[in-house]
Structure 1
Amino acid sequence: MSPERTEIRALDPETVDKIAAGEVVERPASVVKELVENSLDAGATGITVAVGSGGRDRIRVADDGVGMNEGSVRKAVEQHTTSKLRDVADLERGVSTLGFRGEALYTIGAVSRLAITTKPRGSETGTKLVLAGGEVESVEPAGCPEGTAVEVTDLFYNTPARKKYLKREATEFDHVNTVVTRYALANPGVRFALEHDGREVFSTTGQGDLQATVLSVYGREVARAMVPIEGLAAGPLEGLSGYVSDPETTRSSPAYVSTYVNGRYVRSKPIRSAVVGAYGTQLAPDRYPFAVLDLDVSPGTVDVNVHPRKMEVRFGDGEAIEAQIEKTVRETLLDHGLIRSSAPRGRSTPEETEIAPSADGTDGTDGAAGSNDTPEPGSGAGGDRPTGASRQAGEALKRSNDAADGANDTPRSAASSPPVEREESTEKRFSSLTRQATFGEPDEPNYERLPDLRVLGQIQDTYVLCAAPKGLLVVDQHAADERVHYERLRAELAGETTTQTLVEPVELELTAREAELFDAHEGALARVGFAATREGRTVRIGAVPAAFDATLSPELLRDALSACLSGDPGETVEATVDELLGDLACYPAVTGNTSLREGSVVDLLGALDGCENPYACPHGRPTVIRIDREELAERFERDYPGHAGRREP
């Protein structure tokens, strides 16, 4: 490397400005957030957000706030200008506004082409200012309504490295949708409208009714399930308002737990944990409720500058606030009769049953899906139970398999032969680890992937012990059978996809976010076998992938939509379905605490050997562990000096 490349030098002001702007403006949703906050601080009673191509091509945020005159709009696009701070004392006391209007406009304008059209209330003439790359190109009078409209185009046109890392259009719009939804929920007294490529996604009434706002963005099903926070447990919070859902109305992602501090949206794992903790055992470990909660705290007791974009906060007495939130939410749920102190809710009443079309032509539901069923006792080692709707589907699949097996006496593996009737079966069970016989093994084991095994027996009705040439092998029967079923399901989905038509099509109500995700991924969902159409917020499902069985709960589709963008933004629907296959494989698999016949063990090991990867279940847990001869010798201290010269026993 040349000396010139290693020399330390100061960057020029233009480069510094672009770097600083890029740190704040990461994607279209960052722009929307800043502009919506400006509109709210300007006293707007109506805000319209319209984006094109997910915000990559165009973003327009218009409000009916106080507006600006020509002098103010000129200052607003300069660096380090704001109407919201007077001196450092304001910063130290805790800012009551959402953002710094001038700073946001300057930052956005540095990495885009920006046009501001604005008119103060009571003024006859407005002003239009055009900015490109941070430089003012023109300022002229304009005819426009009172308020301010900011239009951003060609985002990151002058920072190609930043533009290159923007995600797919659907991903970017999902982030925009999330931002607007959060501010709409925080401000039910403001009319919000969100448009994408000329199509309205949702709009709120702005009449101050939070439940009506929930209805607008999440749909009728969720709105009906929300209960208001009433009362406040003792603690440092000055107030806590909002809604939480009943324990049956959940999703597989925490994205719908929205928390605010003095009207500002914040991400806070402690607050979210407090909300979820209030439900206790009424929620499955992988389910999250809907919640819209606003914490009222004294500005001087909370630090909003922990995160560069003020997305996180730090409380002076965080533990006490968490305890206060958890107790308040729990008491609210108890007061409404939504949680109990004993068994989890789920299949206790007809209106809580799952959506599962049955063979007689009915859809098997009288109400909301029971998505919070907990694993059955003795369901094997923890950590493998599937999530949400796939749990429901798996349980239905398991029940049908159990019925076919006759009293659940003979758990099946994917490669096993048809079940043997109990009365006619002469097959032995593993009754003792001290038996001398070799059980059901072939004369010459010919496994391809597994080592040659000699089955010794079963312990704790969960693990199969096998002798191998290099030591002792222990097989987790549930994890092994799960791998077998997973590879069977995956093979059935490979190649030409076949579908299973539901006896009765099932309708699901989606949130605004889920509806947009459906549109973006409808083609991919069809490729894996989902036949579904959308009208408004309702999706009508007529068929599911045949590999999932006709009893699959269509709720799986909703979780698939949510999962598409909740993790890696580049993850495809196909990848999401593959994860769901792993979940579904769990339920027909033999569980722990199940006594197996000798032949069943041999069948299971043979099926496991036929798997592409016989050494781990779909969730990554090992199916087989080996205890080497050396470890056995060491544990029994066979190298103890007193054994020297003695004959081997």
Structure 2
Amino acid sequence: MPQEIRELDPTTVERIAAGEVVERPASVVKELVENSLDADASRVRVAVESGGTESIRVSDDGIGMDEQALERAVRQHTTSKIRDIDDLEAGLATLGFRGEALHAIGAVSRLTITSRPRDDSADRGAKITVEGGDVGTVQPAGCPVGTTVEVEDLFYNVPARRKYLAQEATEFAHVNSVTTAYALANPDVAVALEHGGREVFATTGRGDLEETVLDVYGREVAEAMIEIDGAAVPEGPLEDISGLVSHPETNRASREYLSTYVNGRFVTADAVREAVIEAYGGQIASDRYPFAVLFVEVDPSLVDVNVHPRKMEVRFADAEGVREQITAAVEAALRREGGLRTRAPRGQSAPEQTEIDPGNRTEGRSDRADAADSTTADANGDGERSSAVRDGDPRDERPTATSDDGVSESVGTASTDRTPERSGPAERSESEDRPFGRPESPDKPSTQSETPEQRSAETPDAAPTVMATEQRRFGDDDPAMQSFDSLPSMRVLGQVEDSYVVAETDDGLVLIDQHAADERINYERLREQFLGETTTQVLADSVEIELTARESALFEQFTEALSRLGFQAERIDDRTIEVRTVPALIAEAGGPELVRDVLSSFVERDGDAAGTVEAVADELLADLACYPSVTANTSLTDGSVVSLLEALADCENPYACPHGRPVLIEIDTDEIEARFERDYPGHG
């Protein structure tokens, strides 16, 4: 029997609709701040309690509302922003336009609005309350010019929605991000944010974007910002591009600091954000993101802002054209300020072979990586160490930071002044010390960079077309089939591109990513050490670290959790902390600056306290495992490969690196025969 179709009651309809507009406290803050800005406010103050779950208060000095306007404002689909569909199609000059925000907020909270018109000669204003959708009567109220909206007990009448709100720190982080975004978008408006009675940040409202960046991000970030010159923008759908982007060396592990605006509206438009990131190319690692405050202007008829319930996304008529213009503008700014370096070839140096000692894997990066650093620095020609010198997992590409004396140093990596000692087994046979696939020479080994003519010139008696080297024949001294505990038995044949080990198995071939393999080994050993006991290392000199407003608020919430990980730090002032100890495991490979990334990880991995600390620790160990791991483009000795495979076989999970990339790929005989079409008639 078919189900009965019934009409929902108005209360249910209101709460369903409210859920599309009001997702969390930050959604409320966004809608209310937009209303304040549309009301021509010169000052906006946001104050929240318990991350916004208990109360939110947004006050402004805008044009205000009289009693009649207040009564209409809380009804559904009432707005002063547009009149009909023609206004929507012609393009919007305001942030709000749907007439849903106040009605939706009132349906899932206890809402109070107090307002006094700017042009009213009366000495008092008016107040109205809405509780769970029930609208009260308008009452006289004493208040200054402007509007104050108070929201209490958000989702008190929607228990399911309230139940799934995140912890207080996470909810406030979202509130912080939204408020910061609108503060940056409106440097001529004084915006302040308060949490639990404590001011988090306040901008001056003097119209200076760089000063506003200083107010919300701090001096370190503000001094690293580069201005975008709209005159350098190529022709395209965008009429103007302006704003600030950070030098590649000033970045974070989160996208939170990519603030993008379309016609003054804060949006998370993929076309805009991805274009900014693309402009940096290989200058920052794939899991790092720059700071950006980017404004684009476009004909309103060429962008649709009505594609998302919370107006956070937009759709461009020519998204590809927008992407090209933004990428070109950001690249031009970075290049002008020396922020975009000429890309040096990666992994092209020819250092000595690397030997892997499976018993010493956490000491530092390989000799190969250090030599690559030196080569790239020379190629840059400016003495700087490029962050794009490691070619393995994208997380290998660590950013650099400039010290007070102007010398660039690696951030989050071991000091490159120290040459790591990688001692292999005490004795190796001649074949073990020979790189795979390289011919033997009685005088000197041939190198990949030599041409046949150069090699011929060294042996004048040889015919010009004959290489004067002894060819190694497969089968003459090939190693026997090796057995491993949790890997297929295999006979190692050599390396491809000095990056992948090639081995023969009973069923076909195996390709092993040497970086991913070593990374897995290092990760499991680091994890074993960490699970034993978190030991700390006292820094010889404590390090002061400047935080953004968001990071500073997170530090307040997660000081104890940081301590459990081994970071002992205390606040010096509102934006500066002093780090005194770090986890012993990262003393060489990491550094105090990791505190910033760890704080962001606590929010991104929202959950119970114990589970969050464990998850963050695991993520931290996975990243740290990259540093000492042998990189791609590294020539290995025969014996080192066998040692690597033996250590890999001892791992709990030898088939994937800690970031989830495969360690080895098997190609069975059937697939090989199919690729060579051995099943063709006559080859049976």
Shorter-chain TM-score bucket reads: 0.7 to 0.9
Work out which of the residue numbers 416, 420, 425 in structure 2 matches 1:403: 420
Q: Deviation of residue 246 (structure 1)?
A: 2.0
Note the 1:258-269 alignment, pairs <5 A. Answer: 258-269=259-270
Structure 1 476/105 Cα, relative in aligned 2: closer, same or farther at 3 Å?
Answer: closer
How far apart in 2 are the matches of 1:506 and 1:344? 34
Q: Who is 2:201 aligned against? A: 202
Q: Who is 1:169 aligned against? A: 168
Native 8 Å contact 2:508 2:669 kept in 1: yes
Matched, 1:624 2:664: yes
How far apart in 2 are the matches of 1:318 and 1:594? 41
Structure 1 344/178 Cα, relative in aligned 2: closer, same or farther at 3 Å?
Answer: farther
Matched, 1:375 2:389: yes
Matched, 1:554 2:592: yes
Matched, 1:70 2:70: no
How far apart in 1 are the matches of 2:524 and 2:411? 18
Q: Who is 1:598 aligned against? A: 638
Q: Deviation of residue 278 (structure 1)?
A: 3.2
Q: Which runs of 5+ in 1 are unaligned?
A: 346-355, 357-369, 406-417, 645-649
Native 8 Å contact 2:279 2:330 kept in 1: yes
> Deviations 1:265-295 (Å, cap 9, x if unpaired)?
1121211233233334433433322111222
Matched, 1:237 2:238: yes
How far apart in 1 are the matches of 2:16 and 2:480? 70
Native 8 Å contact 1:397 1:587 kept in 2: no
Q: Deviation of residue 389 (structure 1)?
A: 7.8
Number of residue pairs matched by the alignment: 599
> Deviations 1:135-186 (Å, cap 9, x if unpaired)?
1234321111111111111111111122122111111111100110011011
Native 8 Å contact 2:522 2:625 kept in 1: yes
Q: Deviation of residue 498 (structure 1)?
A: 0.7
Q: Who is 1:298 aligned against? A: 299
Work out which of the residue numbers 9, 14, 18 in structure 2 matches 1:17: 14
Secondary structure of the residue that 1:127 maps to in structure 2? Answer: strand
Secondary structure of the residue that 1:503 maps to in structure 2? Answer: strand
Structure 1 467/534 Cα, relative in aligned 2: closer, same or farther at 3 Å?
Answer: same
Q: Which amino acid counterpart does residue 519 of structure 2 have in structure 1?
A: E
Q: Which moved more, 1:609-618 or 1:101-110?
A: 101-110
> Deviations 1:412-458 (Å, cap 9, x if unpaired)?
xxxxxx4358999995434546143464888xx4x432234444555
Structure 1 length as normaliser, TM-score? 0.84
Structure 1 394/215 Cα, relative in aligned 2: closer, same or farther at 3 Å?
Answer: closer
Q: Which moved more, 1:386-395 or 1:252-261?
A: 386-395
Structure 1 389/24 Cα, relative in aligned 2: closer, same or farther at 3 Å?
Answer: farther
Native 8 Å contact 1:202 1:217 kept in 2: yes
Secondary structure of the residue that 2:204 maps to in structure 1? Answer: coil
Q: Deviation of residue 552 (structure 1)?
A: 2.0
Q: Which amino acid counterpart does residue 424 of structure 2 have in structure 1?
A: P
How far apart in 1 are the matches of 2:571 and 2:535? 21
Q: Who is 1:351 aligned against? A: none
How far apart in 2 are the matches of 1:635 and 1:234? 47
Q: Which amino acid counterpart does residue 239 of structure 1 have in structure 2?
A: D
Q: Which amino acid counterpart does residue 251 of structure 2 have in structure 1?
A: T
Q: Deviation of residue 216 (structure 1)?
A: 0.7
Native 8 Å contact 2:519 2:626 kept in 1: yes
> Deviations 1:56-104 (Å, cap 9, x if unpaired)?
1111111111221212111111222212222332222122111148532
Q: Deviation of residue 118 (structure 1)?
A: 1.4
Q: Who is 1:338 aligned against? A: 339
How far apart in 2 are the matches of 1:455 and 1:279? 39
Structure 1 460/534 Cα, relative in aligned 2: closer, same or farther at 3 Å?
Answer: same
Q: Which amino acid counterpart does residue 316 of structure 2 have in structure 1?
A: F
How far apart in 1 are the matches of 2:417 and 2:527? 21
Native 8 Å contact 2:386 2:400 kept in 1: no
Q: Who is 1:531 aligned against? A: 568
How far apart in 2 are the matches of 1:394 and 1:196? 31
Q: Deviation of residue 333 (structure 1)?
A: 3.1
How far apart in 1 are the matches of 2:339 and 2:674? 56
Q: Who is 1:434 aligned against? A: 474
Q: Which moved more, 1:155-164 or 1:299-308?
A: 299-308
CA RMSD, 1 decimal: 3.1
Structure 1 474/78 Cα, relative in aligned 2: closer, same or farther at 3 Å?
Answer: closer
How far apart in 1 are the matches of 2:72 and 2:247? 49
Q: Which amino acid counterpart does residue 419 of structure 1 have in structure 2?
A: G
Structure 2 length as normaliser, TM-score? 0.80
Matched, 1:419 2:424: yes
Q: Deviation of residue 54 (structure 1)?
A: 0.5
How far apart in 2 are the matches of 1:384 and 1:338? 21
Q: Deviation of residue 593 (structure 1)?
A: 3.5
Native 8 Å contact 1:283 1:372 kept in 2: no
How far apart in 1 are the matches of 2:154 and 2:505? 63
How far apart in 1 are the matches of 2:504 and 2:345? 42
Q: Who is 1:414 aligned against? A: none
Q: Who is 1:411 aligned against? A: none
How far apart in 2 are the matches of 1:77 and 1:203? 29
Work out which of the residue numbers 591, 607, 610 in structure 1 matches 2:647: 607
> Deviations 1:499-520 (Å, cap 9, x if unpaired)?
1222222221111111112222
Note the 1:124-139 alignment, pairs <5 A. Answer: 124-139=123-138
Q: Which amino acid counterpart does residue 396 of structure 1 have in structure 2?
A: A
Q: Which moved more, 1:462-471 or 1:507-516?
A: 462-471
Q: Deviation of residue 628 (structure 1)?
A: 3.2
Matched, 1:565 2:603: yes
Structure 1 470/111 Cα, relative in aligned 2: closer, same or farther at 3 Å?
Answer: same
How far apart in 2 are the matches of 1:631 and 1:386? 35
Note the 1:63-212 alignment, pairs <5 A. Answer: 63-100=60-97, 103-121=100-118, 122-212=121-211
How far apart in 1 are the matches of 2:312 and 2:495? 53
Native 8 Å contact 1:398 1:587 kept in 2: no
How far apart in 2 are the matches of 1:540 and 1:344? 39
Q: Deviation of residue 497 (structure 1)?
A: 0.8
Work out which of the residue numbers 31, 46, 57 in structure 2 matches 1:60: 57
Native 8 Å contact 2:387 2:398 kept in 1: no
Native 8 Å contact 1:483 1:585 kept in 2: yes
Secondary structure of the residue that 2:570 maps to in structure 1? Answer: strand
Q: Who is 1:224 aligned against? A: 223
How far apart in 2 are the matches of 1:558 and 1:140? 48
Q: Who is 2:42 aligned against? A: 45
Q: Which moved more, 1:136-145 or 1:382-391?
A: 382-391
How far apart in 1 are the matches of 2:644 and 2:125? 77
How far apart in 1 are the matches of 2:230 and 2:659? 43
How far apart in 1 are the matches of 2:589 and 2:674? 52
Q: Which moved more, 1:572-581 or 1:288-297?
A: 572-581
Q: Who is 1:385 aligned against? A: 396
Native 8 Å contact 2:110 2:130 kept in 1: yes
Q: Who is 2:311 aligned against? A: 310
Q: Which amino acid counterpart does residue 337 of structure 2 have in structure 1?
A: H
Structure 1 600/371 Cα, relative in aligned 2: closer, same or farther at 3 Å?
Answer: closer
